[in-house]
């Protein structure tokens, strides 16, 4: 643990649904390392408990693991890092336990074929907008789409060289998630517009996958002039 | 004029269609300053000639102005920087004179309302893919979408702090356009995937407009870890 978390996050529990997947696990590691209480959710609560134990030992932080529904209920801020395929089904069942909470969607709806990754067409416009449609009593914020899972989950990476674009329709919720992003060393949370402009940030991950292949990198993005 | 242009661009004439608009004018300025021969195209050839004279004086480079059709015919590499509204109509009439050439599409199909900018839905997927559909005998490359027109056209801005994501289906054409981007001081041309992933780069400009409003900036993007 290094610095204390910002005031807006003091005493808040961060739930990470899909927290045993690469992105979710990497975020959970960084949040725990920042001194935040983390609850990992997974379809498989035993796997979640195993990951939680590992991350607690690695970070010295407070991490527990359970199923996705219990994690959703336990979190003050709930990060959704599940595969796109299970996104709608999972959120449909959680509308009540997520009511009144800030839900952070970091899901990238991508397809893959021989030519690499490509963006899927989403009826609601984006994964974040789908989440907001399914969770009318939550405030959905889009973030953490373009951060390398490898870098997040690598204890040797002291500082993650990327900005996190945060899309939000409610300013306070966006600012809270910007603070959350800022808990990761090296990362800035940058306001990137309203939820209706989430699609291209999710889809940009397909381009970053192409960058990673061509340049043998774990690319991220920085916003310049700010 | 500073450094010589890279070998791939020696002797090449760069046409900029829509070269009197902010983005086109800024690109024409930078290409001329890099020692490339530039032909500015515009619906209004007199306006093109006026801009050309200004930029030639400002840069000490070779810049001429004419109508869009004559510029398209004159260019070895043809940059399309027209407003989205006129994109399809213009390109439809130029298929013959653009045959066999590299066409660089930098058009961002955006709508604007009280809440700011948003991405338009494009039947072909993106402006770049529309261009490729209308120009079957050209090689269309997407680039220069996220570069601040203000910074490009500002003679006081010695170095433009941004990367240019280049999307291309033909590697040699993509590499050529990366070289073209690299002629602008401060800019790196970065391969960003295939043409089918152009949409999100075009649309990301809506997010950067939101960044500019919130942070009073002229934002660009950098790709990290490469």
pLDDT in tens, B156-208: 999 999 999 999 999 999 999 999 999 999 999 999 999 999 999 999 999 99
User: What percent of chain B stands above pLDDT 70?
Assistant: 99
pLDDT in tens, A184-199: 999 999 999 999 999 9
Residue A155: φ, ψ to 5°: -65, -20
Which residues of chain B neighbour A122 with C-beta distances below 8 Å? none
pLDDT in tens, A14-44: 999 999 999 999 999 999 999 999 999 999 9
* DSSP code, position A7: G
In this complex, which of A117, A161, A193 lies closest to B206 when CB atoms are compared?
A193
Q: Is B114 on the interface with A (CB under 8 A)?
A: no
Strand partners, A168: A141
pLDDT in tens, A43-86: 999 999 999 999 999 999 999 999 999 999 999 999 999 999 99
Is the model's pLDDT at A4 over the cut of 90? Answer: no
Cα separation values, A167 from A99, A175, A191, Å: 19, 10, 6
Beta strands in B5-121 (DSSP E): 13-17, 37-42, 63-67, 77-80, 102-105, 110-113, 116-119
Nearest residue in A to B220, CA atom: A224
Contact A196 B223 (CB under 8 A): no
**How do beta strands B139-142 and B163-168 pair?**
antiparallel
pLDDT in tens, A78-117: 999 999 999 999 999 999 999 999 999 999 999 999 999 9
Give the pLDDT of residue A1: 46
In this complex, which of B207, B215, B224 lies closest to A161 when CB atoms are compared?
B224
Chains A, B: CB pairs < 8 Å:
136
Which residues of chain A neighbour B113 with C-beta distances below 8 Å? none
- Write down the mean pLDDT value for chain A: 97
Q: Is B68 on the interface with A (CB under 8 A)?
A: no
User: What percent of chain B stands above pLDDT 90?
Assistant: 98
Contact B203 A197 (CB under 8 A): yes
- Which band of pLDDT confidence, cut at 50, 70 and 90, is reported for residue A2? low
Domains assigned to chain B: 7-215 (3.40.50.720)
Is the model's pLDDT at B1 over the cut of 70? Answer: no
- Write down the mean pLDDT value for chain B: 97
Question: Could you say which residues from 135 to 154 on chain B have a Cβ atom under 8 Å away from some Cβ of chain A?
Answer: 148, 151
d(CA A2, CA A59): 10
Give the pLDDT of residue B4: 77
Q: To the nearest whole angstrom, how far is the Cα of B104 from the nearest Cα of chain A?
A: 18
Which residues of chain A neighbour B208 with C-beta distances below 8 Å? 223
Nearest to A74 by CA among A49, A29, A33, A39: A39
Average pLDDT over every residue of B89-106:
97
Strand partners, A116: A113
Is the model's pLDDT at B2 over the cut of 80? Answer: no
Strand partners, B112: B117
Neighbours of A124 (CB within 10 A): 15
In this complex, which of A119, A192, A210 lies closest to B192 when CB atoms are compared?
A210
d(CA A182, CA A188): 5
Is the model's pLDDT at B40 over the cut of 60? Answer: yes
- Which band of pLDDT confidence, cut at 50, 70 and 90, is reported for residue B5? confident
Neighbours of B45 (CB within 10 A): 17
d(CA A187, CA A159): 8
Average pLDDT over every residue of B135-162:
97
Average pLDDT over every residue of A141-158:
96
Which residues of chain A neighbour B118 with C-beta distances below 8 Å? 196-197
pLDDT in tens, B42-97: 999 999 999 999 999 999 999 999 999 999 999 999 999 999 999 999 999 999 99
Contact in structure between A144 and A106 (CB atoms under 8 Å): yes
> 3-state DSSP call for residue B62?
coil
Q: Is B157 on the interface with A (CB under 8 A)?
A: no
Contact in structure between B128 and B201 (CB atoms under 8 Å): no
Give the pLDDT of residue B123: 96
ipTM exceeds 0.90, yes or no: yes
């Amino acid at each position: 643990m290094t610095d204390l978390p910002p005031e807006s996050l003091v005493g808040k529990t961060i739930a990470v649904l899909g927290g045993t997947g690469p992105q979710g696990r990497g975020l959970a590691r960084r949040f725990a390392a920042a001194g935040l209480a983390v609850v990992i959710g997974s379809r498989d609560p035993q796997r979640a408990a195993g990951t939680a134990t590992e991350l607690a030992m690695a970070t010295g932080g407070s991490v527990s693991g359970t199923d996705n529904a219990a994690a959703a209920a336990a979190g003050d801020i709930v990060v959704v890092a599940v595969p796109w395929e299970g996104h709608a089904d999972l959120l449909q069942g959680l509308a009540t336990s997520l009511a009144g909470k800030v839900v952070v969607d970091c899901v990238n709806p991508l397809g893959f074929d021989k030519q690499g990754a490509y963006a899927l067409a989403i009826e609601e416009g984006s994964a974040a907008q789908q989440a907001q449609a399914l969770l009318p009593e939550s405030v959905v914020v889009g973030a953490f789409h373009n951060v390398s899972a490898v870098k997040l989950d690598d204890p040797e990476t002291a500082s993650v060289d990327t900005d996190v674009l945060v899309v939000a329709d409610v300013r306070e919720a966006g600012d809270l998630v910007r603070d959350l992003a800022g808990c990761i060393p090296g990362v800035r949370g940058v306001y990137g517009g309203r939820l209706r402009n989430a699609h291209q940030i999710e889809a940009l991950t397909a381009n970053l996958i192409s960058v990673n292949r061509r340049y043998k990198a774990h690319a991220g993005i920085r916003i310049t002039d700010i």
